[in-house]
């Protein structure tokens, strides 16, 4: 449910996607072969249903422009092209991946992205759609997609620095 909600940014659509997935699973239990965990199988179905919902509601999602107005680069770089604040050393960040809390922070950071950036980022990283599919779904050009992903990654990096690595280095 959380997965669907993050992706769709709309509780009603998310509930529809989850309900449709469960129905599909109940109708075709024979397609579950026990090779994968039950949950993995259900999430696989859910991904398809989420894409269906996105397709259905693309027309309603007219928010593609306008939420990314501010120039992120200006905030990060000086006029001469140097970092305003040099990126911090994150030390051995992979230790974080074994901690549940870290994923909660990542979730919060994704939730805070401007809606369109969040959507393309999740389509890319969670639904594992390729660029062409995402562009087709959202009717945007490839270069638009790159700009959106570019900004999303910069913002996520900032957010992780602030909410995870900032704290970690402060307590070290």
Which residues sit at the interface with another protein, rule CB under 8 A? 1-3, 15, 18, 37, 39-40, 43, 73, 76-77, 80-83, 86-90, 93-94, 96-97, 100, 102-103, 106, 125-126, 131, 145-146, 149-150, 153-154, 156-157, 160
Residue 135 and residue 148 in contact, taking contact as beta carbons nearer than 8 Å: no
Q: Which is nearer to another protein, 62 or 127 (CB)?
A: 127
Q: Which is nearer to another protein, 62 or 101 (CB)?
A: 101
- Least distance from another protein to the Cβ atom of residue 114, Å: 17
- State the DSSP H helix or E strand holding residue 19, giving kind and residue range, or none if neither: helix 11-27
Residue 112 and residue 159 in contact, taking contact as beta carbons nearer than 8 Å: yes
- Least distance from another protein to the Cβ atom of residue 65, Å: 20
- Least distance from another protein to the Cβ atom of residue 100, Å: 8
Please state, in angstroms and rounded to a whole number, the distance separating the CA atoms of residues 16 and 32.
Answer: 22
Q: Which is nearer to another protein, 34 or 59 (CB)?
A: 34
Q: Which is nearer to another protein, 31 or 36 (CB)?
A: 36
Residue 63 and residue 113 in contact, taking contact as beta carbons nearer than 8 Å: no
Residues with Cβ < 8 Å from 164, sequence gap 6 or more? 96, 102, 105
- Least distance from another protein to the Cβ atom of residue 86, Å: 4
- Nearest-5° angle of CA 109, CA 143, CA 107? 10
């Amino acid at each position: 449910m959380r997965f669907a909600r993050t992706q769709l940014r709309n509780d009603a659509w998310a509930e529809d996607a989850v309900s449709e997935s469960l129905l599909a699973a109940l109708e075709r239990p024979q397609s579950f072969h026990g090779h994968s965990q039950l949950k993995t199988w259900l999430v696989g179905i859910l991904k398809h249903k989420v894409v269906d919902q996105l397709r259905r509601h693309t027309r309603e999602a007219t928010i593609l422009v306008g939420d990314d107005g501010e120039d992120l680069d200006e905030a990060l770089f000086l006029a001469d092209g140097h970092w305003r604040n040099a990126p911090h050393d994150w030390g051995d960040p992979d230790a974080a991946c074994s901690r549940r809390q870290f994923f909660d922070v990542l979730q919060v950071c994704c939730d805070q992205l401007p809606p369109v950036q969040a959507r393309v980022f999740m389509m890319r990283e969670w639904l594992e759609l390729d660029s062409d599919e995402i562009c087709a779904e959202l009717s945007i050009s490839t270069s638009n997609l790159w700009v959106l992903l570019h900004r999303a990654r910069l913002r996520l990096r900032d957010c992780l620095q602030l909410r995870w690595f900032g704290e970690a280095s402060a307590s070290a």
